[in-house]
Structure 1
Amino acid sequence: MLLLSLIALTSNFCWWGFFVVTGIKVLFYPFDLIISTTCFAAVWFRRYFTIQRKTDKLVDQLKRANKTKDDFLANTSHELRNPLHSILNLSEGILEREKRSLNEKSVADLKIVLSVGRRMSFMLNDLLDAMSLKENTPRLMLQHLSIHTIANGVLEMFRFMVEGKPIRLNNQIPENIPNVLADESRVIQILFNLVHNAVKFTREGEISLEAYVKDDRVYIAIRDTGIGMDKDALKRVFDPYEQVRSEETMVEGGFGLGLSISQKLVELHGGILTVRSTPGQGSVFTFSLQISKQTGLADDNHLLVQSDRENELAAATLSKPTISPVAYRPRILVVDDEPVNLKVIASILANEAYEVKTVISGEEAIAVLDTKEWDLVVADVMMPKMSGYELTKNIRQRFTLTELPILLITARSRPEDIENGFRAGANDYLTKPVNLLELRARIKALTEAKQSIRDQLRMEGAWLQAQIQPHFLFNTLNAILALSEIDIKRMQKLLEVFADFLKNKFTFTNLDELAPIEIELSTVQSYLYIEKERFAQRLNVRWEVEDCKALMIPLFTIQPLVENAVKHGLNRSSGGEITIKIKNEDTYVKVTVTDNGVGMDENIVQHLLTERPSARSGIGLRNTDMRLKRHYGKGLHIESKLGVGTSVSFLVQKQMVQADV
């Protein structure tokens, strides 16, 4: 075909040349040129279709290879997660269990193993997210969200990561910025990836989140003072598996999927993720979200998103038989800045045996904590001003894990988020959307655990109240018997004091209630009178009590300290001196019991209130410490020195006393 076309083309040029040279003018039709062009076109089209078939075949092969690669990465990620988590769990277990016996280098090596393992886990999660976004478009659960609240919670997640580093995390998003219409979990994921990228490439300086409104959209900017990027890096920054070269940054990266994932999630919300950067000065990533048209407090769209689930919850709640009133209803404090979420949880627990109180901020929750004793706090993580993490850490300054359980609820389910919650001091963690049965089961488990602790404390208090040990009774009765033969008046006085002491011991059944300090001091005076009759001149008591008659304190908080000083502080042969000092300051009253007895070494003092008490050591100090912490946030302060003596003190804040009263 090609040869024929060449012959036809040659023939055409030959005849054309002949006619030009000879000057003969003859009308002719260029059939040979037409045949030549047709033959050439046929050759070209055949080659085109051949190449096209090969190209299509190659494209299919590449698609299959790419699909095989994606399947391999997804399957590998799933298969690696279990052994990786086993390695992490075993390493953490060894580190916690053998930390004291291992040398410093071994401990440091184990910490490196954990750090590398957690980085691998983060990379695997990115791979799974990328595969999920590539295979299908996830359905967005659109809600009316406060971007300030979400940003506050995301930054709180990274505070543990930047501890000890010269990096400041600032949320500069105005609190009055309009709400946005978006998927909460996806927005958190976008911000998490962008902030994580900023932390990763910022050695020192500041990472700030900003926002502004333009054209019915809220623009959120993540600004850092990191290493920045050049023009070439900016062109490929959002490409999957793209990373800045390590020789340029000296920073180890992951798979380079975080920014690509964020870009796709932003596009799903109808926005665009952009970046501006200057090498050596930092980068600014900006994306936009649609402004919510809702103006009222009620979150209609959020209700629509949850309508099916709420109907299911309501049906289950209505079909459940009403529980009859009980003597004690556990008190639950629910904290969430979203009124609809508060209504949902309140409706779930409406027919349960709980007393539920709802508040809309962490600050309000802190204020409500002082009004009564609570059995459980259920808090959302993403809240403005004070996040769930901050609220948890604030509560843990006053209450231990057993004294006030905390259940955190959030849209994030990554292991890093759950770890941050537990490190802040949470007892349990739930992810949205919350399952009805799971929520009820976890609340029941936590409130029952608190009730068990309360019962245990009451039993310990009752034991403390009845802790008139046989030898104390025996010695007191012996003293009364001895005095009956030598001094009837002293015997009668001792009997009266002993009767007052027993009356004070058994009059009150609730040790958590507050009573005038005069009643407590009366019990202490009765106890010391009895002991002075036994020790005679060997026990000297000094009273330094300032005017504080209006002060109310928990029952039996001073008497156990004095009893402990007599039993364990004084030398049995030579006796000693006990000083009871009550100092009235402007904002607090300080109560101190001091003895000049045998004292204790530092190791015993450090573990006296933290270790589980033995039958021999008794429970007076530990019980008193726990009850003081529940009321005032701080317990006993103990100072002691071997051969010098011991001082035990506690503070009573006057404003807290007034609130309790």
Structure 2
Amino acid sequence: MKNKFCRICTMIFLIFLLAISNMYKVAFAESKIEKHILILHAFAPEYPIHMQYNKGIKDKLEQNKKYKFIYSYEYLDFARHSKEKGYFDNIAQYLKLKYKNYKPDFIVTQANLLPLLEKYDKEIFSGVPVIITKDNNGLQEIKGHSNYFFIEQSTEAEKNIQLILQIKPLTKKIYIVIGDSADERIFVERFKDVEKKYIDKIQFVFMNTFSYNQMIEAVKKAEDDSAVLYFRWLTDIEGKSFIPEEVINDICKVSKVPVYGTDAQFLGSGILGGYVKEQQVAGQVAADIIIKILEGKESTVHKEIASVSNVYEFDWRQLKRFGIDESKLPQGSEIKYREVSIWEQYWGYICAGFVLIILQTMLILGLMINRKKRKSAEKELIISNSSLQKLTEKLISIDKMKDEFLSNTSHELQTPLNGIINITETLTEGNHGTINQRQRDELQVILALSKRLSSLVKDIIDVERIKRNEIQFNFQTINIKSLCDMVSGVFKHLIIGKDIDIILDIPEDIPPVFADENRLIQVLYNLLGNSVKFTERGIITISAVEENEFIKVSVEDTGIGISEDVQGKLFNAFTQGGEDIQSQYGGSGLGLYVTQKLLELMKGEIFLQWSEFGKGSCFSFILPKSNEILEDIKREVLEVIEAEINVKEIENKISSDFVALAVDDEPTNLRILKSLLRSKGYEILTASNGKEAIEIIRSRQDIDIVLMDVMMPGISGYEACERVREYYSIYDLPILMLTVRDTPEDVATAFEAGANDFVVKPFVAKELLARISNLLLLKKSVHEALKNEMAFLQAQIKPHFLFNALSTIMSFCFTDGEKAAELLSYLSQYLHKSFNIDSTSATVTFESELQLTAAYAEIEKARFGDRLSVKFDIDENVKKHSTLPLTIQPLVENSIRHGLMKRESGGTVKIQVKVEEDMIKVFVEDDGMGIENTEGILKEGEALKSTETGVGLTNIRRRLMNYYGTELCLYSKKDEGTKIWFTIPK
């Protein structure tokens, strides 16, 4: 009882003390003296410097217990309005009205606003102490204002130039990113003073005279021996204003060289670092001055003007990206975002392991002591174990039934799901009638949900196969760089329209891995798919390094990151990055689980390298390096395949005079293709990579078909196909892609790159030969059609034109022999160009077509004399580009014969060809008689027959529509003339 009474008394006493303490705190808080701090910022509130500056002021002032500080903020957006007349007058009127009855005790601001304070200070804030942060070589103090206190903050432009040369001594050019606001122009002059000291060493490129797009393009094209120094970009030369944080992101996204900065708050946005200003420290210095003034020590502040020193700070990730050794950095440099070492990351687990071992040892000793008791207990449990075993068997049976049901149901769901997806895509494309936007949006929702469900079904099937150990692996030597290049190529097509760049950072000489190619592609698809899914904008980097007997592959992104509370459960089935992530992004949570199991079965391992919420993530996996054991197996397989090819005869519908180019980085695959195709009489050329294939295609004109492997070192088959299509259409040179993947994404990527067809490896000989046969027959048919087309076009040269031309030349023979010879040359050139068109090619160069047109025009000018004038306005850049043959000359002939020469006075025809972005526009215009019914001229029927237009506008229109999908346009007005034009892609 006595002890209980004492405890009660103690508790009552503690409660009493707590109450007294709270009363004291309330009384003390009410007795604090209030001070109003007005912070005038020069720029918009989005400017990150302001937030750091405000934080420094508040953190320092809140440490003082004597005063209660109240804050007001004004953001004057000086950059956007500095050129407006009367801007400061309007601001002064606004401040005067707002703070008339709420006068501040202190004003904190920057030197940008000194013109405002100097003019209106006494009128608005007379006698109020003003703390001004200014550059150490900026504006001077205003004389006669004892209430002004200055903080010098260094920009040290020259120190950043010295830093760039210290890190990279061979730097030849520095791009200075600085805008064109009134404030920035002052700093341009300071940079130019620095420039004079390095006039013989470095070229400075000042961007204050650039528009924003010009600045971004210049940074994007910066040379390897250059650097970018970002100072400030608030306004460009066009007067547009910008948020610095967004400017930094855009610059770092396109720059291939290091980007240095002068402000610490931009570190982590992609800049390398530099000699930077700490705005939070500047705010703390401003707060120190306020405290000294309140304590009556303002005289010491005037004697010792406060200053803020810069510091050297760098982003560890950018140092690694550009291969910069930390030893090259100035002494005392601070490095942020450094990768956490294995020991730092897992030291707690290691210590816990030791503690666990000790506990286990103690537990074993205790178990040994109780051994006898356990034996007697085991005898009693024998009976209960029998019933427990039956229960366990029943549970196992139920679990097995659940797995079988899930597996069977998933397989059955695949077919109807694919049907739903295909039908929905067809409806969305409008193949079954026009739909409105609301219907299209709803169909897109159905399509997205169906694809999501299909992905879940595939994941469940893989999970069940893993559980049953039914997954078969085909291990082989794989070039990891080529594989990553191929997978990233597919995703680059899928992310068109998203502000994401995919970067491949894998050395050319990295050793191959030993794994199953299809399953490794699945792993990369899952990891890269997650990065694309959770990254709104930024960069996704795929890298690989050699680590002892393994190859480590990493997929790093700048996405939303993963919170710490779920990082440890990421590789569990049906686990995602939290409820918010699941509700926003969806998904099954099986991707990483399947990826982990596949890698384990391939003797590999996956782990989360790092992740920071809001910053991004990096997943890495390791796989064993390949050895040379497979070479003997390959030879044996090759011998079996070659023997089978020699025994079996495959029907060949194509003549034996075709030339095929086989492209593959595996010599074994090339030998198989050569054996297969040579048995059919083809001439076989081979290339081991995409670059070599392109060179062969450019050097030889007799190649009929290309068999292109997708996964190759250097450039992938997709990229090689795209480059070939710059020179040859799908009709001129068929390309058959050889791929190990036949997913919709891979197939779509192949066709978008310009492939005619694809075959999945390992291929069946009959299927491959059949597809080659079809493509060659198609090419042969197209060439026959082209020959017929050219024969038709060439047959349109009218006999009376030749008669008139020869008559004109004969007349000049008696009066002007030199002119007659010149006209004979033009006639020869006209006939040569008309009859020498390559019947195997669908197009000719603009230069050739224009020479034909010019030769025709000169003959007609000689015939009609002063009645006819022909003018050419040709863009020189267009001549090497291609167009359909006999498109321009017939239009000119039509204008002369039917527009000008039917009028006694004649007239002028003007031919104009110009390049606009990615398009070429062709105009033929005359000031002749014009056409009454322009619609009938371009249609089949009586109107066309009555025009007698030679090759005919309808024929030209049809060919343009078939080949380019473009229309032939015509405008005409009676007695004023006719204008006809068409546009084709460059």
Please say whether Structure 1 and Structure 2 have the same fold, judged by a TM-score greater than 0.5.
Answer: yes
8 Å contact 1:390–1:424 — kept in the other structure? yes
Alignment of 1:207-226 (within 5 A): 207-226=540-559
Is it true that 1:262 corresponds to 2:595 in the alignment? yes
Q: Which residue number in structure 2 is paired with residue 595 of structure 1?
A: 925
- 2:694 aligned to which of 352, 366, 377: 366
Is it true that 1:206 corresponds to 2:539 in the alignment? yes
Cα distance change of structure 1 residues 325 and 537 upon mapping to structure 2, 3 Å threshold? same
Counterpart AA for 1:436 = A
Is it true that 1:336 corresponds to 2:664 in the alignment? yes
Tell me how far apart the structure 1 counterparts of residues 496 and 465 of structure 2 sit (CA, whole Å).
Answer: 33
Cα distance change of structure 1 residues 257 and 169 upon mapping to structure 2, 3 Å threshold? same
The worse-fitting range, judged by mean Cα deviation, of 642-651 and 72-81 is 642-651
SS in 1 for 2:742: coil
Is it true that 1:141 corresponds to 2:474 in the alignment? yes
The worse-fitting range, judged by mean Cα deviation, of 186-195 and 280-289 is 280-289
SS in 1 for 2:515: strand
1:525-571 residue CA offsets vs partner (Å, 9 max, x unmatched): 468747986x8876544578999xxx9999994x5521232226852
Q: Which residue number in structure 2 is paired with residue 80 of structure 1?
A: 413
CA shift for structure 1 position 337: 2.5
Cα distance change of structure 1 residues 78 and 536 upon mapping to structure 2, 3 Å threshold? farther
Counterpart AA for 2:771 = R
Alignment of 1:128-527 (within 5 A): 128-248=461-581, 250-276=583-609, 277-294=611-628, 301=630, 304=633, 307-308=636-637, 311-317=640-646, 319-320=648-649, 326=655, 329-371=657-699, 372=701, 374-468=703-797, 472-473=798-799, 504=832, 508=836, 510-512=838-840, 521=851, 525=855
Counterpart AA for 2:770 = A
Counterpart AA for 2:674 = A
8 Å contact 1:142–1:181 — kept in the other structure? yes
1:451-503 residue CA offsets vs partner (Å, 9 max, x unmatched): 211111111111112224xxx44x659979999xx99999xx9x999996996
RMSD: 5.0
Tell me how far apart the structure 2 counterparts of residues 45 and 189 of structure 1 sit (CA, whole Å).
Answer: 50
Is it true that 1:96 corresponds to 2:423 in the alignment? no
Q: Which residue number in structure 2 is paired with residue 30 of structure 1?
A: none
Cα distance change of structure 1 residues 44 and 320 upon mapping to structure 2, 3 Å threshold? same
Q: Percent identity?
A: 29
1:110-133 residue CA offsets vs partner (Å, 9 max, x unmatched): 233323322222222222222222
1:172-193 residue CA offsets vs partner (Å, 9 max, x unmatched): 1222211222221121111111
Tell me how far apart the structure 1 counterparts of residues 931 and 435 of structure 2 sit (CA, whole Å).
Answer: 33
Tell me how far apart the structure 2 counterparts of residues 568 and 194 of structure 1 sit (CA, whole Å).
Answer: 62
| Greater RCO structure (CA 8 Å; 6+ sep) | 1
SS in 1 for 2:584: coil
TM-score normalised by structure 2 residue count: 0.50
- 2:891 aligned to which of 515, 539, 564: 564
CA shift for structure 1 position 576: 4.4
Q: Which residue number in structure 2 is paired with residue 20 of structure 1?
A: none
Cα distance change of structure 1 residues 650 and 170 upon mapping to structure 2, 3 Å threshold? closer
Tell me how far apart the structure 2 counterparts of residues 111 and 158 of structure 1 sit (CA, whole Å).
Answer: 20
Q: Which residue number in structure 1 is paired with residue 908 of structure 2?
A: 577
Tell me how far apart the structure 2 counterparts of residues 307 and 122 of structure 1 sit (CA, whole Å).
Answer: 39
Alignment of 1:116-131 (within 5 A): 116-131=449-464
Cα distance change of structure 1 residues 100 and 54 upon mapping to structure 2, 3 Å threshold? same
8 Å contact 1:520–1:555 — kept in the other structure? no
8 Å contact 1:143–1:305 — kept in the other structure? no
8 Å contact 1:464–1:619 — kept in the other structure? no
CA shift for structure 1 position 157: 1.7
Tell me how far apart the structure 2 counterparts of residues 451 and 319 of structure 1 sit (CA, whole Å).
Answer: 27
Counterpart AA for 2:621 = F
TM-score normalised by structure 1 residue count: 0.72
Tell me how far apart the structure 1 counterparts of residues 933 and 381 of structure 2 sit (CA, whole Å).
Answer: 93
8 Å contact 1:576–1:595 — kept in the other structure? no
SS in 2 for 1:107: helix
Cα distance change of structure 1 residues 231 and 48 upon mapping to structure 2, 3 Å threshold? farther
Tell me how far apart the structure 1 counterparts of residues 396 and 852 of structure 2 sit (CA, whole Å).
Answer: 88
Q: Which residue number in structure 2 is paired with residue 34 of structure 1?
A: none
Counterpart AA for 1:375 = D
SS in 1 for 2:732: coil
8 Å contact 1:227–1:249 — kept in the other structure? no
SS in 2 for 1:273: strand
The worse-fitting range, judged by mean Cα deviation, of 64-73 and 264-273 is 64-73
Cα distance change of structure 1 residues 422 and 267 upon mapping to structure 2, 3 Å threshold? same
SS in 2 for 1:563: helix
CA shift for structure 1 position 147: 0.9
Tell me how far apart the structure 2 counterparts of residues 600 and 370 of structure 1 sit (CA, whole Å).
Answer: 49
The worse-fitting range, judged by mean Cα deviation, of 378-387 and 307-316 is 307-316
Counterpart AA for 2:749 = N
Tell me how far apart the structure 2 counterparts of residues 127 and 412 of structure 1 sit (CA, whole Å).
Answer: 20
Tell me how far apart the structure 2 counterparts of residues 424 and 110 of structure 1 sit (CA, whole Å).
Answer: 28
Number of aligned positions between the proteins: 575
The answer for unaligned runs of 5 or more in structure 1 is 1-39, 295-299, 608-614, 630-634, 653-661
Tell me how far apart the structure 2 counterparts of residues 518 and 227 of structure 1 sit (CA, whole Å).
Answer: 56
Tell me how far apart the structure 1 counterparts of residues 578 and 769 of structure 2 sit (CA, whole Å).
Answer: 50
8 Å contact 1:246–1:252 — kept in the other structure? no
Cα distance change of structure 1 residues 58 and 125 upon mapping to structure 2, 3 Å threshold? same
The worse-fitting range, judged by mean Cα deviation, of 569-578 and 400-409 is 569-578
SS in 2 for 1:595: strand
CA shift for structure 1 position 274: 1.7
Cα distance change of structure 1 residues 224 and 650 upon mapping to structure 2, 3 Å threshold? closer
CA shift for structure 1 position 150: 0.9
Counterpart AA for 2:556 = R
CA shift for structure 1 position 507: 5.7
8 Å contact 1:314–1:347 — kept in the other structure? no
CA shift for structure 1 position 72: 2.1
Tell me how far apart the structure 2 counterparts of residues 600 and 400 of structure 1 sit (CA, whole Å).
Answer: 39
